[in-house]
Structure formats: structure tokens, C-alpha cells
Amino acid sequence: MDVKDRLIAGLANFQATVNRVDHRKRGYHLEVTLTSTQVRDFALLLRRLDFYLVFVSAIHLDPDLEIIYQFASYHGPCRTLARVFADHDGAVPTISDIFQGANWHERETWEMFGVVFSGHPFLVPLLLPEEDADLKPLLKQPAALKTAESVTSDQ
């Protein structure tokens, strides 16, 4: 059983949508859509399966912010992209106690987009100066905002 099958089997316990993606066209193998309550269980599963964190970031969409997590494995080709929409209050739980590397990625996502990672031990600006903590520079102007459908492939 390779890494990908083990992950899909582990995800069967979740009420999450899992899509196999064509790596030649999209550059990753699995796409997972989660709710914010599943994020920590998902991270614990990946930790058990020896994945490493590639990045945490966000996409500013209309009406909500979408938080994206990319993981990959040292042991087999299984690049996984997880999508989560933030809660109504713009929050998702932190995974920085499961994958310590997420600490900085979450700080960056917070300062760039204003996503609050609840439970994060040190949510202060990482790249921006302290006085620009409210700038949220990667948020889009309302006129430039797109819906999730208009940035999703038809295929």
C-alpha cells in the first residue's frame, strides 16, 4: 500500500471530499476539502503518515477567505492540497503544535490576510513591521474579488 492509498484510507473516516488530481496538469496528487473543525484531525493523520508541511497560505475569494495547506511525503509521490473556508469570525484552529513548521506559515498568513489561527502561541507579524500589522496587504480590493467558482477549472 503506497502513501497515497494509506492517506485515502485514513481520510475515509472524515466527511471530507477527496479528489485524485492529474499530477501532470496540476502538479499535485490529491485535493481535500475540509471544514475548519476537521483541520486538526487531518493534520494529526498526516503527521502519523510521516508527511511534511510544504506551506500554509490563503486565497482571498468572495465571500470568504480560503485557507490552503499543502503537504507532501518524503516516502512517495503524494502531494496533497487541502482547502478550508474560515469560520464566520475568520478563524481556523492552529496546527502549529502538530507541525511546528506551521508556526511561521500561520503567522505569515495572519499578517497578510487576517486569518486568525486560534490557539497559535505567538500570532505577531513575521515579515511586516509591527506598525503595519493591520495592513493585510494580500487582501484584494472589492472590485477585484472573484468567487470560488470563477477560479476553479471546468474539468
Q: Between residues 9 and 151, which has the closer beta carbon with respect to other proteins?
A: 151
Contact map string, positions 62 to 101, toward other proteins, x by CB under 8 A: ------x-x-x-x-xx-x-x-----------------xxx
Q: Between residues 37 and 147, which has the closer beta carbon with respect to other proteins?
A: 147
Among 104, 119, 133, 136, the residue binding other proteins under the rule CB under 8 A is 104
SS (H, E, C) the chain: CCHHHHHHHHHCCCCCEEEECCHHHHCCCEEEEECCCCHHHHHHHHHHCCEEEEEEEEEECECCEEEEEEEEECCCCCCEEEEEECCCCCEEECCCCCCCCHHHHHHHHHHHHCCEEECCCCCCCCCCCHHHCCCCCCCCCHHHCCECHHHCCCC
Binding site for other proteins (CB under 8 A): 23-28, 47, 50-55, 57, 59-60, 68, 70, 72, 74, 76-77, 79, 81, 99-101, 103-104, 112, 125-129, 137-138, 146, 150-155
